[in-house]
Chain A
Amino acid sequence: MGPFIKLDNVSMLYGNNGTFAAALCGVSFSIVEGEYAAITGESGAGKSTLLTVLGGLQVPTSGRVVTAGVDLSELSADGLADFRKRTIGFIFQAYHLLPYLTARENVMVPLSPEKSSHREKSDRADALLASVGLSGKENRLPSELSGGECQRVAIARALVHDPAVLLADEPTGNLDTTTGEQILDLFSEWHGRGKTVLMVTHNRANLSRSTRIVRLRDGLVEEDRRMSPSGQAMGLRG
């Protein structure tokens, strides 16, 4: 199977007033379609930057990112927006739900620019909320939901376009262990349907669910290993 996501010598520099800091320094690796990869490393290793580059939210300073056969460096700002809508589902640590919208409406937000009927969008949102265990809570505001429920809404929102890739940035970082496990169960379920999952995490427990672990250190890939179904490292690099 060919690479579904390919990073080729990707570097990302942040600069201000002539001072530059490298968040990524020539990162190269590939992800096969259907992989469940955990990106880990210490704070400041470049994990979140890597996730935003993979998701087409940032264009790298140098290097190429090719996802699902699309070279992201060749896309315009609107082209990247379309790419994100079609291909990527983002999940953030702090959920980032819109506080003035109900759970259902939050899930419907990515569908807002589309011309399909309200009923159609609403049915789709309700089905997704049901699939993440939030039936009966469609009309609740985020302030009326627990942290775990908010993250479930965020997951439903990320999945509303049926993306091929789910990018999650510390999705259990704000949750207790039990709730975090439930969220990871949802990721595993999604992965079980053949979708690609990339998760940035500090949490060792989260790593056990993944089929691949990419460890970053100072903007470089320090370790890259595939895990066997039994949890044994099969080794790639590092």
Chain B
Amino acid sequence: MNIRRLAWKNLFRRKSRAVFTGLGIFLGIGTFVALSSLTMQMEGAVRDKLDRFGANILVVPRTEQLSLGFGDIALGGAQVAHAKLAVSDGEAIRSIELKDRLRSVVPFFLTATDASGKDVVWMGLPAEEIAVARPWWKVSGMLPVEKGEVLLGSEAAALLDKGPGGTVLSGGRTFRVAGVLFPTGEKEDSMVIAPIGDVQALAGSPGNVTFFEIAALCKDCPVEDIVAQIGKALPGARVSAIRQVVESRKAAVDQFRRLGMAVSAIVLAIGGLMVFVTVMGSVQERTREIGVLRAVGFRRRAIVSLLFWETGWVSLLSAVSGAVLGTAAAWLASPLFGVARTEATVTPAVIGVVIGMALGFLGSVPPARRAAALSPTEAIRSL
């Protein structure tokens, strides 16, 4: 017989109380682990989705605004590019130190030219990169897959009165309309989108690039470092992170985390309160027993130790079962939150067990102090 065993025996004597004490921790840790696991899975899913969503770094030629005037008369200004970008600059971008974080580097070329007698903007990009660069596009018909095929923005299609299977004439060439873009609300709606080589040929600028769109994998988002490295690789280019996209990614993830933490904190606080109330009740109920233990020579520390062991057993069992349940619940529920089932993550469960033990300990400190401070006189009066 030792204090540990004495505590264990007492738990079995008061099973319903032990279950009630543990219930708070069980539910608290179960909720915490379930929400934490879900949040972690959702964070990953959101990051992946947002990473697939599109570019977050833009590379354009460095330009300067020149003011033109004659005497006091202002004649407006003009942008002067320091250097043009070329398709080959894509290789320089892909050779930076953080190249592993680059999911796609897509060159774009824009030019305004005739299309079946109408002036429209042509946007060229590698045909095979269209689905990567604009995964959210919905198309009636097909995406262009080879030279001589174009995709019309919805407004451009209306302007040219063309649809899938139709043709567009430009620069003495005939282009087949592979598909028409559903309205996006973006500038692409009024553009003709074609393989970059065709657009460069129409503009007479083979190999030239207007800008690069780069999608960086943003798990820990060292986007500033990527920007700096690309800037170093292309001194004549202006490289900028599309801050809004990056920030919105972080905000979305943080929102999930905050929600999970808030709900977990509330449930854990309730669990801690349940421990406090039940252990305090137990101390009051067991005044006589504590009196007997004091009478047979138990020191105050031994009484505290007895209560801590009791709460410790309950906390351990409840926290472990809560963690198992929470992990299983998160795994089962993940498809409901739009997250694919992956391997269950152990970290929230381990943290949950530690928190559960700490919660049990904290919840039992005031009752244990009260029990230790209980004078034998007070306890003996009830004998």
User: B73 interface residue, CB < 8 Å from A?
Assistant: no
Given A92-B383, A98-B289, A105-B1, also A78-B295 (CB < 8 A): no
User: B2 interface residue, CB < 8 Å from A?
Assistant: yes
**Cβ distance B299 to chain A, nearest Cβ, rounded Å:** 5
Closest residue of chain A to B305, judged by CB?
A113
Interface residues of B in 6-21 (CB under 8 A from A): 6, 9-10, 12-13
B377 touches A52 (CB 8 A): yes
Q: Which listed residue (A78, A86, A101, A161) contacts B300, Cβ 8 A?
A: A78
Contacts of B6 in A (CB 8 A): 101, 109, 112
Interface size on A, residues (CB 8 A): 33
Q: Report how far A86 CA is from B297 CA in the complex, Å.
A: 8
Q: Report how far A109 CA is from B2 CA in the complex, Å.
A: 8
User: B294 interface residue, CB < 8 Å from A?
Assistant: yes
Interface string of B1-41 (1 = CB under 8 A from A): 11101100110110000000000000000000000000000
A81 touches B380 (CB 8 A): no
Closest residue of chain A to B292, judged by CB?
A96
B376 touches A113 (CB 8 A): no
A113 touches B1 (CB 8 A): no
User: B298 interface residue, CB < 8 Å from A?
Assistant: yes
Closest residue of chain B to A106, judged by CB?
B1
Q: Report how far A161 CA is from B297 CA in the complex, Å.
A: 10
Contacts of A58 in B (CB 8 A): 376-377, 380
A78 touches B301 (CB 8 A): yes
Q: Which listed residue (B10, B292, B298) contacts A81, Cβ 8 A?
A: B298
User: B302 interface residue, CB < 8 Å from A?
Assistant: yes
Closest residue of chain B to A97, judged by CB?
B292
Given A58-B380, A85-B297, also A118-B10 (CB < 8 A): no
B301 touches A57 (CB 8 A): no
B1 touches A121 (CB 8 A): yes
**Cβ distance A128 to chain B, nearest Cβ, rounded Å:** 13
Q: Which listed residue (B2, B288, B376) contacts A112, Cβ 8 A?
A: B2
Contacts of A150 in B (CB 8 A): none
User: B336 interface residue, CB < 8 Å from A?
Assistant: no
A84 touches B295 (CB 8 A): yes
**Cβ distance A86 to chain B, nearest Cβ, rounded Å:** 8
User: A123 interface residue, CB < 8 Å from B?
Assistant: no
User: B293 interface residue, CB < 8 Å from A?
Assistant: yes
Closest residue of chain A to B2, judged by CB?
A112
Interface size on B, residues (CB 8 A): 28
Interface residues of A in 87-108 (CB under 8 A from B): 90, 92, 94, 96, 98-101, 105, 108
Which one of B289, B295, B297, B383 has the greatest number of beta carbons of chain A within 10 Å?
A: B297
Q: Report how far A140 CA is from B13 CA in the complex, Å.
A: 15
User: B296 interface residue, CB < 8 Å from A?
Assistant: yes
Contacts of A109 in B (CB 8 A): 1, 6, 293, 296
Contacts of B3 in A (CB 8 A): 112-113
Contacts of A64 in B (CB 8 A): none
Q: Which listed residue (B9, B294, B296, B298) contacts A157, Cβ 8 A?
A: B296
B299 touches A81 (CB 8 A): yes
Contacts of A157 in B (CB 8 A): 296
**Cβ distance B148 to chain A, nearest Cβ, rounded Å:** 89
Given A78-B301, A82-B297, A109-B296, also A100-B9 (CB < 8 A): yes
A52 touches B380 (CB 8 A): yes
B297 touches A84 (CB 8 A): yes
Contacts of A77 in B (CB 8 A): 300, 375
Q: Report how far A208 CA is from B2 CA in the complex, Å.
A: 40
Q: Report how far A96 CA is from B287 CA in the complex, Å.
A: 12
Contacts of B380 in A (CB 8 A): 52, 57-58
Contacts of A112 in B (CB 8 A): 1-3, 5-6, 298, 302
B289 touches A84 (CB 8 A): no
Contacts of B383 in A (CB 8 A): 92, 94, 96
Given A57-B377, A78-B301, also A110-B9 (CB < 8 A): no
Which one of B3, B6, B292, B296 has the greatest number of beta carbons of chain A within 10 Å?
A: B296
Interface residues of B in 271-319 (CB under 8 A from A): 288-289, 292-302, 305
**Cβ distance A53 to chain B, nearest Cβ, rounded Å:** 10
B13 touches A113 (CB 8 A): no
- Give 16 CB contacts A-B under 8 Å: A57-B294, A58-B376, A58-B380, A78-B300, A81-B299, A84-B296, A96-B292, A96-B383, A105-B9, A110-B296, A110-B298, A112-B2, A112-B6, A121-B1, A158-B296, A161-B297
Give 7 closest A-B pairs by Cβ, nearest first.
A85-B297, A100-B13, A108-B1, A110-B296, A57-B376, A113-B302, A81-B299
Having A58-B377, A109-B296, one finds 16 other A-B pairs with CB under 8 Å, namely A52-B376, A52-B377, A55-B295, A57-B377, A57-B380, A78-B301, A80-B376, A81-B300, A84-B295, A100-B12, A101-B6, A105-B9, A112-B6, A112-B302, A118-B1, A158-B296
